[in-house]
Amino acid sequence: MPTVAAPTILVVTVEPNTPNAEIVHVTAYTTGATTATVVRAAEGPGIARIHTKKPWIHGPTAYDFSGIITAETPVGGVTIGAVTTIFCSLTVPNDGAVHALLIGASVMDVSVALSTSVTVSVIWTSPTGGTQSVTTTATAVGSHGLLAAFSSSFALLKPGTQVKIYQYRAHVGGAAKVYAKIVVS
């Protein structure tokens, strides 16, 4: 195990996948030592046992996934229109932490040929305070199906910022729907 010193911690599950499992945070350890300083039951109720020569793992725990929030369009999507529309939005917790963003949106289900293009944008604030955005445009087409899509595999967000997926420009002529989802952890 590597040396661990503040402010770094090492999350360890002792006796994983057993009724005796306990998550501890190693707060101090020197490589080669036979003991470590730990916080017992660091992520929930603990077991008052001494774990001697028991298996352990270092890896993600349920706590790593508990802070996920989402916003999305309704199941049937949102119809684009002659006015700009926010398809979905959420506000990132203002907890001082930097959060990660995953987005996706598609312009599809064209029921009437589009006579003008449709522009869909996502906007957010980076940890340094700069406004960030990504945009996709579905050009005027007469076919059905997927017209344009975008996704972001990873972006960082400033605490307290609003993330929104919206119709950037008013649209006239034709009919289509937007399906979108925002995931923040």
**Residues 114-151: pLDDT tens digits?**
656 677 788 888 778 888 887 777 665 554 544 556 66
Whole-number pLDDT of residue 37: 92
Q: Which residue has the tokens 């090492």?
A: 10
- Taking 3-state DSSP, the helix, strand and coil percentages for the chain, each rounded to the nearest 5, stand at 0, 50, 50
Residue ranges making up the domain that contains 137: 69-184
Whether 99 and 157 map to the same domain: the answer is yes
Residue 153 has pLDDT above 60, yes or no: no
Whole-number pLDDT of residue 117: 67
Cα–Cα dist 93/103, whole Å: 17
Beta strands in 77-174 (DSSP E): 78-79, 86-91, 99-112, 118-125, 131-138, 148-157, 162-167
Find all residues with CB under 8 Å of 113, minimum gap 6, and list them: 140, 141, 142, 143, 174
Cα–Cα dist 73/182, whole Å: 9
Whole-number pLDDT of residue 46: 63
Whether 60 and 87 map to the same domain: the answer is no
Whether 101 and 128 map to the same domain: the answer is yes
Residue 24 lies in a domain: yes
Whole-number pLDDT of residue 32: 93
Cis peptide bond N-terminal to 7, omega within 30: yes
Whether 122 and 156 map to the same domain: the answer is yes
Whether 15 and 79 map to the same domain: the answer is no
DSSP code of residue 60: -
CA dihedral 84, 171, 134, 156 (to 10 degrees): 30
The domain boundary, picked from 49, 64, 79, lies at 64
Residue 4 lies in a domain: no
Tell me the CATH number at 137.
Answer: 2.60.120.40
Residue 2 lies in a domain: no
Number of structural domains the chain divides into: 2
Whether 73 and 24 map to the same domain: the answer is no
Residue 28 has pLDDT above 90, yes or no: yes
pLDDT digits (tens, 9 = 90+) for 30-59: 999 999 998 888 877 666 678 888 899 888
Whether 77 and 159 map to the same domain: the answer is yes
Cα–Cα dist 175/138, whole Å: 12
Whole-number pLDDT of residue 124: 83
Whole-number pLDDT of residue 79: 78
Kindly report the pTM of this predicted structure: 0.55
Task: Look up residue 42 and give its two tokens.
Answer: 């660091």
The helix/strand/coil state of 113 is: coil
Residue 92 lies in a domain: yes
